[in-house]
Amino acid sequence: MIKNKVVIITGASSGIGEASAKLLASKGAKVVLGARREHQLRQLVDEIQKAGGQAVYQVMDVANPSDNAEIVKLAKETFGGVDVIFLNAGIMPNSPLSALRTDEWNQTVDVNIKGVLNGIAAVLPTFVSQKSGHVIATSSVAGLKAYPGGAIYGGTKWFVRDFMEVLRMESAQEGTNIRTATIYPAAINTELLDRITNQDVAEKMTALYEQYGISPDRVANVVAFAIDQPEDTNVNEFTIGPTTQPW
Ligand SMILES: NC(=O)c1ccc[n+]([C@@H]2O[C@H](COP(=O)([O-])OP(=O)(O)OC[C@H]3O[C@@H](n4cnc5c(N)ncnc54)[C@H](OP(=O)(O)O)[C@@H]3O)[C@@H](O)[C@H]2O)c1
C-alpha cells in the first residue's frame, strides 16, 4: 500500500526523483524531498500541494551525514515517522581514466557511495527499532555491465548493488522486516548528462539518449510498484530501460 506511507526521496529536484515524488504523492504518499537546488524543490512541493498531495522539502547534500539525519528528523516531525527511503541522488560525470579527472572521481564516490551510506546510517536505527521499513536505491545498468568512460560511475553503482543485496540478507537474518528494491535504469531522459564535462563523452551519450531515452515516469512506476507490494513480499531488483535500446 502506498497511501499514507511517509517516503523520503533524495535527488528529488529533477529526473527520476522528481517523477517518483509526483507519482507517489498522487497515490497518497507523504513525500519528504531532498536535493541541493532549493528553487526546484520548492516548485515541486507547490505543484504536489496544489494537486492535493502532501509534501515537504529540505535542501541537503547527501555527502553530508548531518543533512541526512536532518531529513529523517523532518519526516518524523512533519508526518510522524518514516516508512520508505528512496536513495536516488547521483551524478555521472563520465570520462576516460586517462583524462585523470580525479576531482570528479572523488565527487562521484562522495555522492553515489557515501551518500547512500549516509542515508542508510540516518534511517536504519528507526527501521530496526520499528521492525519495518523499505529501502529503495537507484543503481544503474552501469552497475551490471562495464563500459568505457564509466569506470568510476559504474564502480559506484556496483557498490549499490552489493550493498543492497547484503542489506536484504541481513534484514532477513535479523528479522527486521526491512524490504529492499534496487533499480537498474538504462537511458532515461533526465538532467544526468548535464554534468558530463568531457566533450567527447557528452556528445556520444547525448546521441545515445536522443536515440533511445524514455521518460523518468517509467522508473517512477517501478518505484510505486515495489512500495505497493504486500509487506511480506520483497520485489528486489528491476532493470528498466527503453525497449529499443540494445545495450
Ligand atoms: N538517467 C539515466 O539514464 C540513469 C540511468 C541509470 C541510473 N541513473 C541514476 O538515477 C539517479 C537519478 O538521476 P537522474 O537520472 O534522475 O538525473 P538528474 O535529473 O540529474 O537527478 C539527479 C538528482 O540527484 C541530485 N543530487 C546530485 N548530487 C546531489 C547531492 N550531493 N546531494 C543531494 N542531491 C544530489 C540532483 O539534485 P541537485 O543537483 O539539486 O542536488 C538531482 O535531484 C542517479 O543515481 C543516477 O545515477 C540514471
* Whole-structure pTM value: 0.98
pLDDT attached to residue 182: 98
In a domain, 22, yes or no: yes
Query: In angstroms, what is the span from residue 174 Cα to ligand 1's centroid?
Result: 31
**Protein residue whose Cα sits closest to atom 32 of ligand 1:** 61
Angle between helices 115-130 and 151-174 (to 10 degrees): 10
Which CATH number characterizes residue 187's domain? 3.40.50.720
Nearest ligand 1 atom, CA 16: 16
Centre of ligand 1 from the C-alpha of residue 38, in Å: 15
Give a yes or no: residue 134 inside a domain. yes
Q: Which protein residue's CA is at the shortest distance from atom 47 of ligand 1?
A: 90
- Unique residue bearing C-alpha cell 529499443: 244
DSSP string, 136-151: EEE--GGGTS--TT-H
Q: What is d(CA 166, CA 86) in angstroms, rounded to the nearest whole number?
A: 17
In a domain, 244, yes or no: no
**pLDDT tens string 46-79:** 999 999 999 999 999 999 999 999 999 999 999 9
Tell me the CA distances in angstroms from 168 to 113, 177, 230, one per residue in order.
17, 9, 16
Is 90 within 8 Å of 152 (Cβ atoms)? no
CA distance 101 to 57: 32
Burial of 161 per CB tally in 10 Å (0-12, 13-18, 19+): middle
Atom of ligand 1 nearest to the CA of 216: 16
**Residues of the chain below pLDDT 70:** none
Residue type, 183: I
The answer to whether the CB of 242 is under 6 A from ligand 1 is no
Secondary structure in 3-state letters for 10-53 = ECCCCHHHHHHHHHHHHCCCEEEEEECCHHHHHHHHHHHHHCCC
Residue 1, in any domain of the structure: no
Contacts of 166 (CB under 8 A, 6+ apart): none
How many residues are listed for the chain in this entry?
A: 247
Counting ligand 1 atoms within 8 A of each CB, the residue from 39, 118, 138 with the most, and so the one to mutate, is 138
What are the residue numbers of the active site? 153
User: Does residue 247 lie within any of the structural domains?
Assistant: no
CA distance 64 to 36: 11
Q: Which residue has the cell 511517509?
A: 6
pLDDT at residue 247, rounded to an integer: 79
Give the type of residue at 43.
Q
In this structure, are residues 106 and 210 in contact, taking their beta carbons and an 8 Å threshold? no
For residue 242, being part of any structural domain is answered with no
Is 78 inside any structural domain? yes
Ligand 1 center to 112 CA (angstroms): 9
Q: How far apart are CA 224 and CA 139, in angstroms?
A: 17
> Domains in the chain: how many in total?
1
Q: Of all protein residues, whose CA lies closest to atom 14 belonging to ligand 1?
A: 15
Nearest-atom index, ligand 1, CA of 153? 47
Q: How far is the CA of 90 from the centre of ligand 1 (A)?
A: 4
* C-beta of 138 in contact with ligand 1 (< 6 A): yes
Instruction: Give the residue numbers spanning the domain of 57.
Output: 6-233
The answer to whether residue 245 is domain-embedded is no
Per DSSP, the residues of 85-129 read EEE---------GGG--HHHHHHHIIIIIIHHHHHHHHHHHHHHH
**C-beta 93 within 6 A of ligand 1:** no
